[in-house]
């Protein structure tokens, strides 16, 4: 009987650990999904800004320095966000 009690306790412990691992796995999958969605949004924004940058290059004479600086800051922000997400995904 004592051996069965020990075995039962070990099984309970393993089941609890398994449940914790499954919960952690689900949480990590949700995090990766959320980051993937965020990446897609940022890539769309980057593409939009790239198209705007092409427009700026085409109409360079009509764009002032303030507009150029704003575009650069926006692009830097998007690139930084993408870098953060990529670093998080690699961790």
What pTM was estimated for this model as a whole? Answer: 0.52
pLDDT tens, residue by residue, 25-57: 999 999 999 999 999 998 888 888 887 777 666
Quote the CA–CA distance of 59 and 73 in Å, as a whole number.
19
> So what's the pLDDT on residue 68?
78
Which residue segment(s) compose the domain that 53 sits in?
2-90
Cβ neighbours of residue 42 closer than 8 Å, sequence gap 6 or more: 78, 81, 82, 85
- SS3 of 91, please? coil
The domain total for the chain is: 1
First to last CA, the chain: 47
pLDDT, mean over the chain: 86
């Amino acid at each position: 009987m004592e051996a069965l009690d020990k075995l039962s306790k070990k099984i309970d412990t393993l089941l609890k650990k398994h449940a914790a691992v499954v919960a952690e796995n689900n949480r990590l999958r949700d995090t990766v999904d959320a980051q993937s969605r965020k990446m897609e949004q940022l890539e769309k924004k980057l593409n939009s800004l790239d198209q705007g940058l092409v427009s700026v290059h085409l109409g360079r004479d009509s764009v002032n320095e303030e507009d150029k600086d704003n575009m650069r800051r926006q692009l830097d922000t998007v690139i930084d966000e993408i870098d953060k997400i990529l670093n998080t995904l690699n961790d």
